Chains A and B, each alone.
Chain A
Amino acid sequence: MKQEKMENKAVKLPEDLSFAADYSCYNCKYMNGGSGSQIYCEYYRGYYDPGYCDHFISKY
């Protein structure tokens, strides 16, 4: 895999870079429900993987 970068310039991380296990559904406004890889969807009242709940909308 080729990785391009700007010539003669080191990669620089953005100042506000941060990572969070935030799987909130923006639709439900429900925060980090569930366990493992699933979230709880208040709309459907069930546990879903974020990629499979069609009600799930990320806020990012």
Chain B
Amino acid sequence: MKNSYIVQKITAILLLCTASFLTVPVQAAISLELTQGIEAAMPIALIPFNYDGMGQDPSGELMPVIKADLQNSGQFKFIDINDMAKFPHTVAEVNLDYWRRLGVDALVIGRIYSSSPGTYQVDVSLVNAFSGDSRFATQSPLLFSKTFTVSQANLRQLAHHISDLVYENLTGIRGIFSTRIAYILEQRPAGKPPVYKLEVADADGYNPQALLVSNQPIMSPSWSPDGKQIAYVSFEKRRAQIYLVDVVTGRRTLVASYPGINGAPAWSPDGKKLAMVLSKDGHPNIYMLDLDTKKLTQLTRSWSIDTEPSWSPDGKSIVFTSDRGGSPQIYQLDVATRAVKRLTFTGNYNAKPAISADGRQLVMMHREGKQFAVAEQNLTNGRVSTLTRGGYAESPSLAPNGTMVLYATDQDGQGILGMSSTDGRVQLKLPAREGDVREPAWSPFAS
């Protein structure tokens, strides 16, 4: 009798132990709540890719681009290559403990093969250093692994694409490294009349291509939502006119040539309408042109200057600059009802508005004292924060993912472009061009 009792007890205890090992005994756990973290760049490692092939190692064209992209976003900081002692190229080679101790959250690793000159096969993997205890390996640490075949000429493009993949995977936000920027370049060669160019370059300012060249001013470039066309203002006929130009073919279309001002074209999010500023009825007001029907609709009727229209992401309203209140401020127009309400109440000058894709932020040119800066206003609580520091800044243009702002600033009297992250962490300057760069416009995502 007694023996069977003991046996029963032991069995029960063993079962209990097993059960508790298998289940998650949350009742016994202490509960904690954490509601604060830090906002800081994520430490990652970019391990030099292994090259196996003939000719020059192409990683010299890949790695620096990837690193610059990710670093300039302000979201990542790279550990110094000199601090690395291990150089894995595949997931299997990664010793998670080592990288954790080094203080790295993720690793970008890869290999490049070249079977024929000028063509490369690139394997790239993103590894999560904290996917689980390396001893138990609850989940695979691999976040993605892809292979690309690329020609020499497209190496840079591939690098941007890899940057996009890494960025998206680690932040959850779509990357902008494959987007482009358009801007006006004014050159004044010595002793010659000025030349105006509409240029399109990579988002990092590289590979500028002149889309248009004119000896009369070009202004206000605006990308269509599909990224295939740019609307702009041209004075080639000695008067303001609005043209559309195909980014690939260069073909142009005249869309507005009304008496007086034809300016500040802005595409609706569905690409069917173009908002613009016309003064044909006496004062600069906001109009809307249907690109299919060519029907023109007047949206604002005021005796003040209403200009710089920009559509909200849902296409239902247009924000614009108006001095109807005495000083240039930003207003919002409901397209359907034509109701207008004022948005900005801070600062003595607010202009060139644009609403972020998530509809939460209003980016604008802003002046509180004497200095213009680029600022961001939270549309929920109205709080304004300055994004640019030191120096003059104007013509802000938001990146399609809302994380960066491109603007025009000057350096030693030369007009250049600057870029700031909307969280204020990064401030960059794009490489100067020969001439003055103005009025940047950030392309949408490549569709």
**Do A and B actually bind?**
no
List chain A positions with a Cβ less than 8 A from chain B: none
List chain B positions with a Cβ less than 8 A from chain A: none
